Copies of this chain bind each other. A is one copy, B any other.
Amino acid sequence: MMENQVLDVKHSPETCKASINAVRDTLYVLSGKWKLPLIVALSEGPQRFKEIQRALGDITPKILSKELKELELNEFVVRKVFPTTPVTVTYELTSYSKSLENVIEELKNWGIQHRQRISESMRKPIAGE
């Protein structure tokens, strides 16, 4: 299943085109800077709007609402309404969002590594490529 050589070997233009298209499909569905962080935030368990907003820190309610709707539409998130007074609304991940586990794990690992690289390069001059 895995080729794990995206950058290691020279592909034929056809293989390369197929890889470009698959990556573009993913980026299309997960477009923008909020969808993946939102999914990570919800991995803590079902949460209310205000709790999600707090977890993300700097998202406006308008954008959060829009992003949650798009995630619902793509079946990554379910909005549940409980008949309390006043009503309680929570958002939780669907089983389909679990399919993003490896994607998120790699984005997280890379982010950690990139931040380390930046701190190191601030301590010494950057070596030329």
**Alpha-carbon gap, A93 to B31, bound state (A):** 24
Range for the number of chain A residues in contact with chain B = 35 or more
Establish whether residues A99 and B113, one from each chain, have CB atoms under 8 Å apart when the complex forms.
Answer: yes
Contacts of A112 in B (CB 8 A): 22, 25
Known interface pairs A6-B101, A7-B43. Does A23 touch B37 (Cβ–Cβ under 8 Å)?
yes
Which residues of A are in contact with B by a Cβ distance under 8 Å?
A: 1-4, 6-8, 10-11, 13, 16-17, 19-29, 31, 33, 36-37, 39-41, 43-45, 55-56, 75, 78, 93-115, 117, 126, 129
Given A6-B43, A10-B45, A19 and B108 contact (CB-CB distance below 8 Å):
yes
Q: Which residue of B lies closest to A33 (CB)?
A: B27
Q: How far is the CA of A111 from the CA of B19 in the complex (A)?
A: 9
Known A-B contacts A23-B107, A99-B110, A114-B29; A44 and B6 likewise in contact (beta carbons under 8 Å):
no
Note all chain B residues with C-beta closer than 8 A to A8.
98, 101
Residues of B within 8 A of A129 (CB): 75, 78, 94-96
CB-contact partner of A101 in B7, B95, B98, under 8 A: B7
